[in-house]
């Protein structure tokens, strides 16, 4: 069974839907592979001006590390549910994002004996550094208004009914862009993110692997699955 719904197309906009609500759209190997294949197909299609990434269920993405650079096509996220841990890395790889009032966000890795290592590559260049320090360290949950304030997302929408409307001018603008103009403009706004991948990806992947293999992380993940407090809780 696919973890990604069949793509839909409308006047230059391709919509990809994360469709694995049973595991809260976690970035499993299957979902990552399907998403990568779909994005490669979009990037190779000159008629695609943008990709809208959305989800089924009440969770956009529960998490997992993002280990590749942003796709060359314009990448727009539409979020109506929860985003956790590595799911924020997927969000950080998007150029434009809109979230509704039911959305919530949290970098929960520190509570599991981990750290937001690989996902820092797209997140830190785009997020307010003081806010990043707070939410990286505490794992607190925050809403769409705060996510927009700290530049994690582009648009916070006041009602669920208005979220599609909020993207209308964005998608219309992307449809009007020439392929060359869109690509060249994206190179400018993603230059820092791509430089981060070139310089730090290998080290952060190794650091993430070491953390996952640690005894403390095993305790943290086991405690989470068993719905109990970890051994270090004061």
Split at pLDDT 50, 70, 90, the class of 59 is very high
Q: Which helix (H) or strand (E) holds 18?
A: strand 13-18
Question: What are 173-210's pLDDT values in tens digits?
Answer: 999 999 899 999 999 999 999 999 999 999 999 999 99
Whether residue 167 lies inside any domain: the answer is no
Split at pLDDT 50, 70, 90, the class of 69 is very low
Whether residue 166 lies inside any domain: the answer is no
With a pLDDT cut of 90, the percent of the chain lying above it is: 82
Whether residue 188 lies inside any domain: the answer is yes
Per DSSP, the three-state class of 82 is strand
Residue ranges making up the domain that contains 110: 1-159+173-228
pLDDT at position 127 over 80: yes
User: How many distinct structural domains can be found in the chain?
Assistant: 1
CATH number of the domain at 36, please: 3.90.226.10
Instruction: Find out whether 187 and 140 touch, Cβ atoms under 8 Å.
Output: no
DSSP string, 106-174: E--GGGGT----TTHHHHTTTS-HHHHHHHHHH---EEHHHHHHTTSSSEE-SSGGGHHHHHHHHHHHH
Instruction: Find out whether 10 and 48 touch, Cβ atoms under 8 Å.
Output: no
Whether residue 204 lies inside any domain: the answer is yes
Mean pLDDT for the chain? 91
The whole-number average pLDDT for the span 212-217 is 96
pLDDT of residue 70: 40
Whether residue 102 lies inside any domain: the answer is yes
Give the separation between CA 11 and CA 16, rounded to whole angstroms: 15
pLDDT of residue 1: 60
Whether residue 27 lies inside any domain: the answer is yes
pLDDT of residue 38: 95
Question: What are 108-123's pLDDT values in tens digits?
Answer: 999 999 999 999 999 9
Question: What are 93-108's pLDDT values in tens digits?
Answer: 999 999 999 999 999 9
Look up the pTM and report it: 0.88
pLDDT of residue 65: 35
Whether residue 182 lies inside any domain: the answer is yes
Question: What are 130-170's pLDDT values in tens digits?
Answer: 999 999 999 999 999 999 999 999 999 998 788 889 999 99
Retrieve residue 204's tokens.
């952060």
Whether residue 31 lies inside any domain: the answer is yes
pLDDT of residue 113: 97
């Amino acid at each position: 069974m696919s973890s990604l719904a069949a793509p839909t197309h409308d006047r230059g906009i391709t919509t990809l839907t994360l469709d694995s609500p049973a595991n809260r759209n976690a970035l499993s190997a299957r979902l990552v592979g399907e998403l990568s294949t779909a994005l490669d197909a979009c990037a190779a299609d000159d008629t695609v001006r943008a990709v809208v990434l959305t989800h089924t269920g009440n969770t956009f993405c529960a998490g997992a590390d993002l280990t590749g650079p942003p796709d060359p096509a314009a990448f727009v996220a539409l979020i109506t549910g929860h985003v956790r841990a590595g799911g924020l890395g997927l969000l950080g790889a998007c150029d434009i994002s809109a979230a509704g009032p039911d959305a919530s966000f949290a970098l929960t890795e520190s509570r599991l004996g981990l750290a937001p290592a690989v996902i820092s590559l797209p997140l830190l260049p785009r997020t307010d550094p003081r806010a990043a320090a707070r939410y990286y360290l505490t794992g607190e949950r925050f809403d769409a208004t705060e996510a927009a304030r700290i530049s994690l997302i582009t648009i916070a929408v006041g009602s669920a009914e208005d979220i599609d409307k909020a993207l209308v001018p964005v998608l219309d603008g992307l449809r009007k862009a020439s392929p060359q103009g869109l690509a060249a403009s994206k190179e400018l706004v993603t230059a820092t993110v791509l430089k981060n991948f070139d310089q730090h990806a290998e080290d952060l992947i190794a650091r993430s692997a070491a953390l996952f293999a640690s005894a403390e992380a095993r305790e943290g993940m086991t405690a989470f699955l068993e719905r109990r407090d970890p051994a270090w809780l004061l």
